[in-house]
Every structure is written in structure tokens, then in C-alpha cells.
Amino acid sequence: MRPALAVLAAALAAGCLIPQTAAEPRFFSPGTPPAADDVQRSDAPELRLRRVRAAAYLKNRMVWRNGVEVGFYDLLRWTEAPARYAQEWLDDELFERRGFRRANDPRAPQLVVRLSEFDELLAPSHEASVTLDATLLGPDRQTLFERSFSARKPIAGDDPSAVAGAFGEALTDASAQVGGAAADALFPRPP
């Protein structure tokens, strides 16, 4: 019996000593904002979109949420920080779709946005959830609105590519909500 134990111990030791290749992280992107017609309006108001900030936990690792529990995937990552995606989608929505004119003047109306949720919800249904907290400040710094805009899109299956695609759709919807609210607040109303 001792020789069998020695052979087993040697086999286990050899298995543990053989170098294992580490699993490589996989990187994903929610795509790009949907194509928009170039909208130019001479009566469009100026708008200054401040740099989008994100909640502290939203970095490059993909996030899952199950009720009140939040976790991170070890090997699934975004190619950019989620705040960068939100910035890109909002730029597209406001300046390409809605026709706002970009402003650098600090006296122009300002939109301040914080990405507070960019989570894969596991239960009760499998969804991509995006929340943008937005504050629109008028020319004299009065608050025109301050609210959260959320969107959820179902995720078909567990493939990370499907997850990323659903995030692109949810980000499109949440950005459209912000753009609509900004347009309602700033575009001239017909008499």
C-alpha cells in the first residue's frame, strides 16, 4: 500500500508543479451609439456637457448585482471605463441627435451627469441596468432639473457579448431620456 501512496503523492505533486497558464481577461464594449442624422438648428441653444463621472465602484471590471449584493467578474472587463461610454452616448444624443450647439463658455447652460449604475442584474430577471443622475444648470446657475434617468434591457443568455449589447441599448435609452429633458428645458417654445 505504501508504494501506491508514494505513486499517488508523486502524481499529485507533479500535477501541482506543472505550470498552468493563467486565464486571460476578456474585454467587451457596448458598441457605438446608433447612427444619427446630422441635425443643425440655427435656433439651437448652447450647452456645455461636463465630463461624466461614475460611482466609485464602476471601473473597468464588469459588475453584476443580485438584490443588494454587488460583485465583479474576474475575467470580464470593459475596454473603457463605463463613464467614458456614457460620455460618448450623451455627446451623440445631445449634439448630433438633438442639435444643441457645443459651448465652452462657463456661463452657458451646463449639464452635469453622474453614472450611478451600470450593472448586470441577475435576478429577478436578467437585465442590463443603466442609471444617469443629471443636473441641468441654466445660464445664471439656477437648477432647471435634477433627476435620475434609468433604463433596463433584457439580456438573452449568459454570453458576455449579449450582456455588452444590452448595455449599449440601455445606455441609448437613458441618454435619450436625458436629451429629451434637456431639450424640453432649453429649446425655445413656440408662441
Q: Would you state the pLDDT for residue 108? A: 94
**Which one is predicted more confidently, 12 or 146?**
146
- Determine contact, residues 108/137, Cβ cutoff 8 Å: no
Q: Which three cell numbers stand for residue 100?
A: 444643441
Residue with cell 434591457: 153
Is residue 148 scored above 80 in pLDDT?
yes
Roughly how many angstroms between the first and final C-alpha of the chain, as a whole number? Answer: 97
Distances 164 to 6, 42, 62, 130, 174 between C-alpha atoms, Å: 50, 37, 9, 12, 15
Q: Which three cell numbers stand for residue 127?
A: 437585465
Is residue 41 scored above 60 in pLDDT?
yes
Q: What are phi and psi of 44, to 5 degrees?
A: -70, 135
Q: Would you state the pLDDT for residue 158? A: 87
Q: What is the mean pLDDT of residues 51-62?
A: 97
Angle at 19 between CA 16 and CA 1, to 5 degrees: 25
Q: What is the mean pLDDT of residues 112-130?
A: 97
* pLDDT tens-digit series, residues 1-35: 566 666 556 555 555 556 667 789 999 999 989 88
* CA separation for the pair 170, 177 (Å, rounded): 11
All residues at 6 or more sequence positions from 72 whose CB lies less than 8 Å from its CB, including other chains: 61, 62, 63, 64
β-pair partners for 132: 115, 149
* CA separation for the pair 109, 138 (Å, rounded): 4
Average pLDDT for the chain: 90
Is residue 75 scored above 90 in pLDDT?
yes
Q: Would you state the pLDDT for residue 138? A: 94
Q: Would you state the pLDDT for residue 187? A: 86
Angle at 160 between CA 156 and CA 72, to 5 degrees: 115
Q: What is the mean pLDDT of residues 138-147?
A: 94
pLDDT band at residue 188 using 50, 70 and 90 as cut-offs? confident
Cβ–Cβ contacts within 10 Å for residue 63, how many?
A: 20
Q: Would you state the pLDDT for residue 16? A: 57
Q: Would you state the pLDDT for residue 168? A: 97
Spell out the domains of the chain, with CATH numbers in brackets: 27-186 (3.40.50.10610)
Is residue 46 scored above 70 in pLDDT?
yes
Q: Would you state the pLDDT for residue 40? A: 63
Percent of the chain with pLDDT over 90: 74
Peptide bond into 190 cis (omega under 30): no
